[in-house]
Amino acid sequence: MDNLVKMTPHIIIQARMGSTRLPEKVMRKIGGQPMIGLQIERLKKTNLPIILATSVALENDELARYAESLDVKVFRGSEDNVLERYYNAAKTFNARHIIRITGDNPLIDPFFIIEQLKAVKIDQQRYYLSEGRDRKLPLGMSFEMFPFSLLEEAYANANTKFEKEHVTPYMHQNFPGDINIYKFKNLMDISNFRLTVDTENDFHLMEELILKFGCQHKSLDEIINISNNNPYLKGINSAVRQKKWNE
């Protein structure tokens, strides 16, 4: 199999307005620009095709229109069955390989994504790529990659509400037992930083990083250096508890 960059994977962002802890967060503005717009702007630097997978709920109309205004393809599907929505988004736009990203991570580093796609050599058709269970990246800086065939298989075999609400348990738990698990290369442990947005405190940190330090234009390494040199930043959302993947 050729390297991952030559596979031209599609980035599929799952996002909707109905967040339980911070409603409408993806369209909340920082410096006049919605968070999802900041994320899309960064991800365009990968030069990979981008799809937004949102739901048919009317509250997502604004989100869908905004993404389309940025020349991003939009698929609208189930509100609660995220696996079905994701599968149909990939199928609609003929995505043979998929990078999964969630819309609450506006500072995800496009160059880190490309670096990993170049570094990891995958020689199997049934693969799942991620940072692995021993998390070393900050929340908000990771991604997953897998082939459409495995997504289709996960969709066909999903029976529980949990499996339908999440996209990749079938893969990262290796339910069939023959999925080739690949991990990111050369990771330093910087997991003590939180760069995702689930709460007001997370949002306040993101405002500070973007408005004061211009982190929407910075790499992951630069963002970590800024955070290390300004210890008060970590304290803004240090009390936030992250939901576990199986909650």
pLDDT digits (tens, 9 = 90+) for 70-119: 999 999 999 999 999 999 999 999 999 999 999 999 999 999 999 999 99
Look at residue 240 and tell me if it is in a domain: no
Look at the chain and report how many structural domains it folds into: 1
- Separation between Cα atoms, residue 173 and residue 170, nearest integer Å: 6
- Separation between Cα atoms, residue 35 and residue 52, nearest integer Å: 14
- Residue 97 tokens read as 């390989």
Residue 51, amino acid: I
Look at residue 221 and tell me if it is in a domain: no
Residue with tokens 């994504």, as numbered in its chain: 113
Residue 154 — very low, low, confident or very high, per pLDDT cuts 50/70/90? very high
Look at residue 111 and tell me if it is in a domain: yes
- Residue 144 tokens read as 């997953």
Look at residue 199 and tell me if it is in a domain: no
Look at residue 179 and tell me if it is in a domain: yes
- Residue 166 tokens read as 């999440």
Please compute the mean of the pLDDT values over residues 212-238 and round it to a whole number: 95
β-pair type (97-102, 144-147): antiparallel
Please compute the mean of the pLDDT values over residues 134-149 and round it to a whole number: 95
The answer to whether residue 133 scores a pLDDT higher than 60 is yes
Look at residue 127 and tell me if it is in a domain: yes
Residue 159 — very low, low, confident or very high, per pLDDT cuts 50/70/90? confident
Look at residue 104 and tell me if it is in a domain: yes
* CATH at 106: 3.90.550.10
- Residue 88's pLDDT is what? 98
Residues forming a β-bridge with 194: 139
- Separation between Cα atoms, residue 97 and residue 243, nearest integer Å: 27
- Residue 190 tokens read as 């910087």
Residue 236, amino acid: I
Residue 166, amino acid: H
Nearest to 85 by CA among 171, 176, 154, 179: 154
Look at residue 203 and tell me if it is in a domain: no
Give the domain extent around 131. Answer: 5-190
Please compute the mean of the pLDDT values over residues 173-198 and round it to a whole number: 93
* Distance from the Cα of residue 185 to its chain's centroid: 18
